[in-house]
Amino acid sequence: MIEVKDVTKWYGPTKAVDRLSFTVQPGIVTGFLGPNGAGKTTTMRMILGLDHPSSGSVTVHGRDYASLPAPLFEVGALLDAKAIQGGRSARQHLTWVAKAGGISEDRVEQVLEAVGLADVARRKVGGFSLGMSQRLGIATALLGDPPVMLFDEPVNGLDPEGIRWVRRLFRDLAQEGRTILVSSHLMSEMEETAEHVIVIGRGRLIADASIREFTQRNGASHVRVVSPQSEELAPLLRSAGGAVAADDGALVVTGMEAPQVGQIAAEHRIVLHELAPRRVSLEAAFMALTEDSTQFQAAALDSEAIAETARALAAASPGDDSKGS
Amino acid sequence: MTATTLPEARVAARSARFSDTLASEWAKIFSARSTYVTLLLGLGLSLGMTALVSLAVGSTFEEWTASDQATFEPIMFSLVGIVFGGIVYSVFGVLVGSAEYSSGMIRLTLTATPKRGRVLAAKALLVTVVVGVFSLLSTVGMFFLGQAILGSYDMPTASLSDLDAQRAVFGTGLTGAFFPLIGLSLAFLLRSTAGAITAVLGVLWLPEIFGGLLPNWWRENVLSLLPGPALDSAVIGHIVDSSMYPDPVVGGLMAAGWLVLALGSAFVLLVRRDA
């Protein structure tokens, strides 16, 4: 378990993290989300004892990272996959890390195999693609078989096959009872991997909820209706309590579920060409949330604003708007 | 392509010890190409420069004035190559620390070994031993090579059974890690390869460069406090006469003090600063 308690971090005059508190539970993958510059990496560095909080405390299993007697066996981390010296081979690189924790060289071979780098173990890491470097970083995190693992933007640079692999790996690791924290600036990455999300913006906590809760709370749903008699239908829906907006020949109905819309149409003998319940994607909800934080508005979330964002997104990428339902 | 389930670690979890940090830093140093380049270059330059200068002097010695010939001192002369080799060894000391900062790998190092003092101590210990071995090879090699060349021109030579020669050859060799350790400290203080190399060469060379330009009072009271003259007074002060040199014992203690100051401030900043 990772506990971040009331942590503030200043870099000179810049407040990178602002009274942040959350805990990361074992057994599930926790997504750590926020736009670039939100303070995710800073928070991860503080968890690893690399940066010291200006105030507040960060603990792993109730202890300071720096006071862990066997850190590599307790916490595995991937921070910046490219921040390594390029002159060593993958095997040499993993070997020095392993030795620092008293881990055998057999284990180096195991993790090389596990991340699919066994064939290139002798190649210089300076020539690795970002995707291969990410795999090497994941191998590093796996060395001590630790119960707590942190990954900072691990999906960057991976090919689709690599992304599928890494998602499955994280879920498997979590199923073994580990605490897995994975950061990302893209909500879509988390939808299929994380069970719980912690969203931050401008160093502040915006949301700390299960994916289901998060979607329900922030991802407003709407119903898309196409009818040749939409001018008749719209007032009927409004009088039944729905909010209706026109959207490129269709009606976007909120505050009402699809069956109710169908019922009203049938009662008034109105022809429907299309009746589609749409759930706002997590991405849209996330963007609506963090957009607020990037503009530094502390105002409460307006569900209509979210629906609007969702409509814009749905229009921009047809077929993608029903994701996450 | 890859397995998703991972074999459990066969190694039992145990606390990391200083010997683990040492083994890790050893593996790091000897898997970096710059290590081989700098160490072999240092040895090669030391021997090569001594050979070159000895040949040049040997072939012109007969043309020297009688008084120049009479004051020719073969021990220090044969060690001239360490001036060049020493620069390269100092660069090695810097790189052991600074290369991790330029790549950002220091964060991985300090994640694996969060007891930061151990990292600095292991690096310092390895620089001491590795450069110690190479600089000793350099000075002993230069001495024999130099004497052999000078002897072949019938010039005055010295023997290693001579106590003065022993103090200069072994003293210079065994303290060869002094400036590399200052360089290592500067690497942790400045966190930059270029900055630390410039700084260590400054510490190494400024007294030599400005020593001759400054009035004697400065040489005796200011330059004599600097690390270079302090160390030199202990290892070659019995042969070389310089107004910059303090008493050899005092000089040795001062050199040790400089080392403690450099490594101590590197330690304090390494522990306190964000990585």
pLDDT score for A325:
31
Q: Which residues of B touch A72 (CB under 8 A)?
A: 16, 112
Q: Which two tokens stand for residue B5?
A: 């389930």
Percent of chain A beyond pLDDT 90? Answer: 66
Model confidence pLDDT, tens digit, residues A35-68:
888 999 999 999 999 999 999 999 999 999 999 9
CA distance A126 to A147: 30
Q: Is there a contact between B274 and A50 if contact means CB atoms under 8 Å apart?
A: yes
Q: Is B212 on the interface with A (CB under 8 A)?
A: no
- Hey, do A2-216 and A221-279 end up sharing a CATH topology, with the first three levels equal? no
Q: Model confidence at A248, in pLDDT bands (50, 70, 90)?
A: confident
Give pLDDT tens digits for A285-316: 677 667 665 544 433 344 444 554 454 444 43
Residue in this structure with the two tokens 């190479």, named with its chain if needed: B134
Question: Mean pLDDT per 10-residue run, chain B (275 residues)?
Answer: 51 87 98 96 98 95 90 94 96 97 97 97 98 98 97 94 96 97 98 96 85 84 90 93 91 97 98 95
A212-221, A225-234, B5-14, B48-57: which is most confident: B48-57
Residue A302 pLDDT: 46
For chain A, helix, strand, coil in percent to 5 are: 40, 25, 35
> How much is the average pLDDT of A139-160?
94
Contact A132, A162 (CB under 8 A): no
The answer to whether the CB atoms of A102 and B14 lie below 8 A apart is yes
**Ranges of each domain in chain A:** 2-216, 221-279
Closest alpha carbon to B274 in A14, A244, A185: A14
- Give how far A101 is from chain B: nearest CA, Å: 5
B110 touches chain A (CB under 8 A): yes
Contact criterion met (CB < 8 Å) for A95 and B27: yes
Fold classified for A221-279: Alpha-Beta Plaits (3.30.70)
pLDDT for residue A280 is more than 80:
no
pLDDT tens sequence across B153-210 = 999 999 999 999 999 999 999 999 999 999 999 999 999 999 999 999 999 888 878 8
Euclidean distance between CA atoms B118 and A166, whole angstroms = 34
Band the pLDDT of A324: cuts 50, 70, 90: very low
Distance in Å, alpha carbon of A16 to nearest chain B alpha carbon: 14
Q: Which residue of B has its CA nearest to A99?
A: B24
Q: Which pLDDT belongs to residue A301?
A: 44
How far is the first Cα of chain B from the last one, in angstroms, to the nearest whole number?
Answer: 36
Rounded to 10 deg, the angle between the B116-152 and B178-190 helix axes is 140
pLDDT given for residue B87 in this prediction: 96
Closest CA–CA distance from residue A204 to any residue of chain B (Å) = 21
Give whole-number Cα distances, A43 to A38, A188, B120, in Å.
10, 22, 25
Angle between helices B82-103 and B178-190 in degrees, nearest 10: 30
Question: What's the confidence (pLDDT) of residue B129?
Answer: 98
Residue spans of the domains in chain B: they are: 19-214
Q: Are strands A250-254 and A2-11 parallel, antiparallel or unpaired?
A: unpaired
Q: Does B210 touch chain A (CB under 8 A)?
A: no
Level-2 CATH architecture, domain A2-216 = 3-Layer(aba) Sandwich (3.40)
Q: With CB atoms and an 8 Å threshold, state whether B13 touches A144.
A: yes
Within 8 A of A39 by CB-CB distance, chain B residues are none
Rounded to a whole number of angstroms, the distance between the first and last alpha carbons of chain A is: 30
Round to whole Å and give the CA distance between A27 and A179: 6
Asked if residues A282 and A294 have their Cβ atoms less than 8 Å apart, the reply is no
A contacts of B27 (beta carbons < 8 Å): 92, 95-96, 99
Task: Tell me if B31 and A73 make a contact (CB, 8 A cut-off).
Answer: no
Cross-chain Cβ contact A165/B24 below 8 Å = no
**What type of residue sits at position B267?**
F
Interface test with A, best of B14, B35, B108 (most A CBs within 10 A): B108
Instruction: Please check whether residue B215 touches A, CB under 8 A.
Output: no
Closest by Cα among A84, A42, A85, A45 to A66: A45
Residue B2 and residue A115: Cβ atoms within 8 Å? yes
Task: Flag whether residue B37 sits within 8 Å of chain A, measured between CB atoms.
Answer: no
A87 with B34: Cβ contact below 8 A: yes
Q: Is some CB atom of chain A closer than 8 A to the CB atom of B34?
A: yes
From A48, A71, A80, residue closest to B16, measured CB to CB: A71
Percent of chain A at pLDDT exceeding 70: 85
For residue range A124-137, list pLDDT tens digits in order.
Answer: 999 999 999 999 99
pLDDT in the model for residue A163: 92
ipTM of the complex: 0.91
